[in-house]
Amino acid sequence: MTTAVPPTGSTSSRTGRNRPGGHPPGRRLRLRNTFIGWTFILPNFIGFAVLTLGPVLALFYLGFTSWNAFGQAEWVGVENFRGLLTDATFHRALLNTGYYAVLHIPLTLAASLGLALLLNTKLRGVAFFRTVAFFPYITSIVAIAVVWNMLFSPDAGVINQFLTFLGVDDPPGWTTSTDWSMPAVVIVGTWRYMGYYMLLFLAGLQAIPPELYEAARVDGANAIQRFWNVTVPGLRPTTFFITVMLTIESFKVFDLILVMTNGGPGISTLVLSQYIYRKGFEEHDFGYASSVAIVLFGICIVVTVVQFLINKRRER
């Protein structure tokens, strides 16, 4: 009997299963897909590592040093954080940041939700009004500050002239007053950001099934009852997301206050972000500025975690 010799280039030879170091087709396909996946991920990961993760790690190191951007950073341990305990300017900046957040978050939520409800219709020209409401968000912050400072002018401003016309004998000084400067900034901040969050609320409103509103009407629910029993529960995920974003944005507010009041009058509108800027780039105390930034970072993390826990408990 003669033994059949497999032809050259048989299936087993082509696949490489019998060759030393050969890989099965399935493994080669997985390796190839993994390589392709990393080619998409790697550029973004490198950018994140260089522009975000690296500076954050450097921040946590510099917060425990004394460094003026020149020479070697000197390790001082927790000395910078001890200084924060007796720093009256830091305490005022922390208080101002909380003051801004407490006013800005609910006002922006209410204004953006109200706009979304008004513009969630199929009336003619509604797209134009949505654009008008969103326009302040993309407008230059310098232009916004200049225009609003003119409106808030104590003597020639339109707002105080209107209040005087209504019979107010002593209208506020707004940005020139230590008592009214922060409410003025909050008003401008709410006006600027409500258009952006309005779009998010609009997306949430349009995701609510219309059948729920029809069923509520059939059951005899009026407009207020439909709002509380259909709209509010349907917007819960959107509201939670917007609240988290608003909270972070409120605690790190910087540009609006910088160009509108520059922290004044005095330090009545000085917030933590601007205090970090002053200590770092004006006084060149980058170690102390980094410690303030760590505190601000910790506040944002704690508040965000608390919001997630509250939302998780409500979902149960």
pLDDT band at 15 (very low <50, low <70, confident <90, very high): very low
Through-space distance between the first and last CA atoms of the chain, rounded to whole angstroms? 78
Note the pTM of the prediction, 2 decimals: 0.84
d(CA 114, CA 201): 9
pLDDT band at 263 (very low <50, low <70, confident <90, very high): very high
Rounded mean pLDDT, 51-70: 91
pLDDT digits (tens, 9 = 90+) for 215-228: 999 988 898 999 99
Specify which residues 66 forms β-bridges with: 74
Contact yes or no for 80/64 (Cβ under 8 A): yes
Rounded mean pLDDT, 21-47: 83
Sorted by sequence, the CB contacts under 8 Å of residue 207 that are 6+ apart come out as: 234
For 187-220, give one letter per residue: b (16+ CB within 10 A) or e.
bbbbbbbbbbbbbbbbebbeebeeeeeeebeeee
